[in-house]
Structure 1
Amino acid sequence: MLLQKIRLMSKKKRIIIIGGGAAGFFTAANLDENKYYVTILEQNGDVLQKVKISGGGRCNVTHACFDPRDLVQFYPRGNRELLSVFTKFQPGDTMDWFETRNVPLKIEKDNRVFPTTDSSQSIINAMIDEVRNKKFEVKTQVSVSEIIKQDDEYLIKTKQGDFVADIVIYTTGSSPKSLKIIENLGHKIIEPVPSLFTFNIKDDLLKDIPGTSFANAEIQIPSLKTEESGPLLITHWGLSGPAVLKISAWEARKLAQLKYQFEIEVNFISTPISEVEKQFKDFKNSNPKRTVGQSKIFDVTNRFWNKILEVCKIDPEKQIANLSGKEMNHIFEYLCQKKLRVSGKSTFKDEFVTAGGVDLKEINFKNMTSKILPNFYLAGEVLDIDAVTGGFNFQACWSEAWLISQDINTK
């Protein structure tokens, strides 16, 4: 009986997962422990670090968008390839997976999904417990320097010693070092550039009012003939918020070519200037003696309204009836057609994402295998796939990882 058990164990294939992030851990959590020896190699001192800090430490697990055709619209790169992936595992499946492991989730008003604990540790614990229960091995502070294909195996070289694998799952993220390793194995790399970043802007209108927000603004980049809308936030460095992050994601490669020097036009209230002019004149006719500083006409903070008056050099104590046509036009322009010069970017730390990575033409999206390397799987940010904020980048990881685990489990 003992001899039979030893023979059974000897037939188990060895899987090495390189990268202990969302994609790597979710793959491991869904692998069959009776068929495989699984080892996760993580170069940092702790696993799932990006999951930990995401969503301000709450972890935006996914997004409540349950139609794959709608879901792929949130991915500037990879949308065509992900359609088939999401038909097999989508946000509803992600929610079921965590909830059946005692991690209740909630859908917020903007459709972002978080654990009800508002703690990313709940998500981390669920995956770690699953991997631990399968008795898989997790090795931290192990940095892979090279992968060598040897007959039907892979030799994975690290400073801490070498590992041999029958199957490799590559979920490293998009660091230059990890991309170089996969390039040396024959894969084509699309040069990574930052995506999801904020705009550095120096302008008197934004000066000294960080924290001022707008529920729905419109941003255009005239030179690229592109625009986005959504919440907007004034920061110490310029502009942030979903509207900025979305346009930075969709135009990531073009903005890199511009070296992050370009002009934007902002409509802070998403209202046509003709409509603003009409509202203003109607208010002026009804309240001629009201001072302009106390005239609450548009959906902006008093702080921002008075900043416009300050920059336009309009006395806030001036009666609204006494405003000149030139002064009114200045106000309309600052509200609806304000041109701002962007001179650089700042990384959006919680959702640091890059556009670029392994060329998607070299991946079989039925199971996330390499078309170049046998028994070699890739998932996560190492691929040339990225999304806007809202839990979409994680969803790509969960879905890709699920496909990998299911494919391997059927071997």
Structure 2
Amino acid sequence: MKDVLIIGGGAAGFFTAINCAQQNPNLNICILEKSKNLLSKVKVSGGGRCNVTHAEFDPTELAKNYPRGHKELRGPFHQFATGDMMAWLAEENVPLKIEEDGRIFPESDSSQTIIDLFLNACHKFNIEIKTQCGVEDFHLTEEKLWKVKTKNEAFLAKHLVFASGSSTKIWKLLAQKNYSIINPVPSLFTFNIKGALIQNLAGISWETAVEIVDEQKNISKKQLQNLQSSGPMLITHWGLSGPCILKLSAWGARSFHQLNYQFQLKVNWLPNLSEDEVTAQMLQQKNTHPKQQLAANPLFGFPKRLWHSFVNQSGISAESKWADLSKKEMRTLQNLLTKCIFSVNGKSTFKEEFVTAGGVDLKQINFKEFSSKLHPNLYFAGEVLNIDAVTGGFNFQNAWTGGYVIAKSIVTKKSENSPF
């Protein structure tokens, strides 16, 4: 008999187990993991450095980073958010550092630091971990206990926690128990683009504003209004990436799936200037430096390679001087700088961090304790829910918050002597 049985040996599962044990060391806790590997997403997060959370300390502002789940997480974030996770790790002697973009990492720059912390905590609290133990079925007995069947054995538990991530098998099982599963689609991906403008420019990053253009009217105007983003954009060997694109991919995950990842992307390379201001600066350059070659003297602070490509794609000769620039050429260049159109043809996974939009319908969850509205003593943490975030440590923060709140709920029920 287990007090707490957790399905899933990832970030949410381990954090739930450890917090249950910390708050009540007498609990009999077990984690079931279907594969051989534990904490696999923790291992690869942040390029192997483990981006544990993000330096956004206001719960309301923190919740705005979740395309799905922003309303539901506002309350839980008042219970346990970024500062609480940082304090928790500090108590576990894991020093952290905040990088310029707000991402928070262990000072060790190694995900193994977090993995070792979790595994050592499980050993300390005698938390049982079973690998290669995939769940085949589960049901509530007449005694109000959860019976969970795996291929080789069965478990009885007073409390059952699903922290199974984006497991289609578990979602199918839950659907059989009357849970509504929002069909999962990819989130956090980069755009595949073969455009002459960005060819051979991989590695260049630039602050931009982007939006989707849908001339075929395959999606609604309301959807289009939401498909806008700004921030650093990175040119890659296969197209476009960077925070600006990843944020857009997260917020537009369902729309892009609907479009089969074929659409037009409009890029404003100078989002802080109006079109008139862009034209004015070019006219000033033409008047003050008429004998300068356009291609050899970048405007607006652009990297030389990128500026040269703008000039070339505008049909302007590399030898042209500003004095030679016609009104038509200037207008073409200005349009390229402020409303450049790319044809997106497919997507690529962002590094190894595959994230899905989809999962258990949030309407069926009581977010005061991340518990099921359909069954007693049943909980959900992490990506098994229809919650996902933009890149930067936010998906982990959802896992930490869910795990903490679930543990607090379970332990509170124990202390109140309610049926356990």
**Who is 1:38 aligned against?**
29
SS at match of 1:278: helix
**Who is 2:9 aligned against?**
20
* Alignment-mate amino acid for residue 24 of structure 1: G
**Who is 2:305 aligned against?**
303
Shift of 1:104: 0.4
2:315 is matched with which residue: 313, 316, 319?
313
* Alignment-mate amino acid for residue 230 of structure 1: G
Q: Unaligned 5+ residue runs, structure 1?
A: 1-11
Alignment of 1:381-392 (within 5 A): 381-392=383-394
TM-score with structure 1 length normalisation? 0.94
Q: Please give the alpha-carbon distance, in whole angstroms, between the structure 2 residues aligned to 1:144 and 1:321.
A: 73
Q: Please give the alpha-carbon distance, in whole angstroms, between the structure 2 residues aligned to 1:334 and 1:147.
A: 58
Q: Please give the alpha-carbon distance, in whole angstroms, between the structure 2 residues aligned to 1:375 and 1:22.
A: 21
Alignment of 1:35-114 (within 5 A): 35-114=26-105
Contact 1:98 1:126 in 2 (8 A): no
Q: Which whole-Å deviations, capped at 9, do the CAs of 1:209-230 have from their partners, x for residues lacking one?
A: 222211x100011331331100
**Who is 1:235 aligned against?**
236
Contact 1:245 1:389 in 2 (8 A): yes
**Who is 1:7 aligned against?**
none
Q: Please give the alpha-carbon distance, in whole angstroms, between the structure 2 residues aligned to 1:43 and 1:335.
A: 50
**Who is 2:350 aligned against?**
348
Shift of 1:143: 1.5
Structure 2 residue 249 is the aligned partner of structure 1 residue 248: yes
**Who is 1:3 aligned against?**
none
Structure 2 residue 171 is the aligned partner of structure 1 residue 179: yes
**Who is 1:266 aligned against?**
267
Shift of 1:94: 0.2
Shift of 1:13: 4.4
Contact 2:49 2:106 in 1 (8 A): yes
Contact 2:2 2:155 in 1 (8 A): no
2:368 is matched with which residue: 366, 369, 372?
366
Alignment of 1:165-176 (within 5 A): 165-176=157-168
1:217 is matched with which residue: 190, 202, 208?
208
RMSD: 1.4
Contact 2:19 2:407 in 1 (8 A): yes
Shift of 1:85: 0.2
Structure 2 residue 116 is the aligned partner of structure 1 residue 125: yes
Q: Please give the alpha-carbon distance, in whole angstroms, between the structure 2 residues aligned to 1:194 and 1:309.
A: 36
Contact 2:297 2:304 in 1 (8 A): no
Shift of 1:169: 0.7
2:292 is matched with which residue: 287, 290, 295?
290
Deviates more, 1:83-92 or 1:324-333: 324-333
Structure 2 residue 148 is the aligned partner of structure 1 residue 159: no
Q: Please give the alpha-carbon distance, in whole angstroms, between the structure 1 residues aligned to 2:389 and 2:398.
A: 9
* Alignment-mate amino acid for residue 49 of structure 2: R
Shift of 1:360: 0.6
Q: Please give the alpha-carbon distance, in whole angstroms, between the structure 2 residues aligned to 1:354 and 1:13.
A: 31
* Alignment-mate amino acid for residue 15 of structure 1: V
Deviates more, 1:251-260 or 1:141-150: 141-150
Q: Please give the alpha-carbon distance, in whole angstroms, between the structure 2 residues aligned to 1:220 and 1:201.
A: 15
Contact 1:13 1:35 in 2 (8 A): no
Q: Please give the alpha-carbon distance, in whole angstroms, between the structure 1 residues aligned to 2:238 and 2:155.
A: 46
Q: Please give the alpha-carbon distance, in whole angstroms, between the structure 1 residues aligned to 2:347 and 2:238.
A: 9
**Who is 2:395 aligned against?**
393
Deviates more, 1:147-156 or 1:183-192: 147-156
* Alignment-mate amino acid for residue 229 of structure 2: E
Contact 1:269 1:299 in 2 (8 A): no
* Alignment-mate amino acid for residue 161 of structure 1: E
Shift of 1:89: 0.5
Q: Please give the alpha-carbon distance, in whole angstroms, between the structure 1 residues aligned to 2:283 and 2:81.
A: 50
Q: Please give the alpha-carbon distance, in whole angstroms, between the structure 1 residues aligned to 2:171 and 2:228.
A: 32
Q: Unaligned 5+ residue runs, structure 2?
A: 215-223, 415-420
**Who is 1:204 aligned against?**
196
Q: Label 1:129 to 1:182 Cα distance change in 2 as closer, same or farther (>3 A).
A: same
2:281 is matched with which residue: 279, 283, 289?
279
Deviates more, 1:29-38 or 1:133-142: 29-38
Q: Please give the alpha-carbon distance, in whole angstroms, between the structure 1 residues aligned to 2:69 and 2:20.
A: 25
Contact 1:154 1:168 in 2 (8 A): yes
**Who is 1:8 aligned against?**
none
TM-score with structure 2 length normalisation? 0.92
Deviates more, 1:343-352 or 1:15-24: 343-352
Q: Please give the alpha-carbon distance, in whole angstroms, between the structure 1 residues aligned to 2:405 and 2:124.
A: 21
SS at match of 1:332: helix
**Who is 2:336 aligned against?**
334
Contact 1:198 1:240 in 2 (8 A): yes
Shift of 1:334: 1.4
Shift of 1:318: 1.6
Shift of 1:302: 0.8
Deviates more, 1:223-232 or 1:310-319: 310-319
Deviates more, 1:155-164 or 1:83-92: 155-164
Contact 2:209 2:230 in 1 (8 A): yes
* Alignment-mate amino acid for residue 71 of structure 1: L
Q: Please give the alpha-carbon distance, in whole angstroms, between the structure 2 residues aligned to 1:20 and 1:128.
A: 11
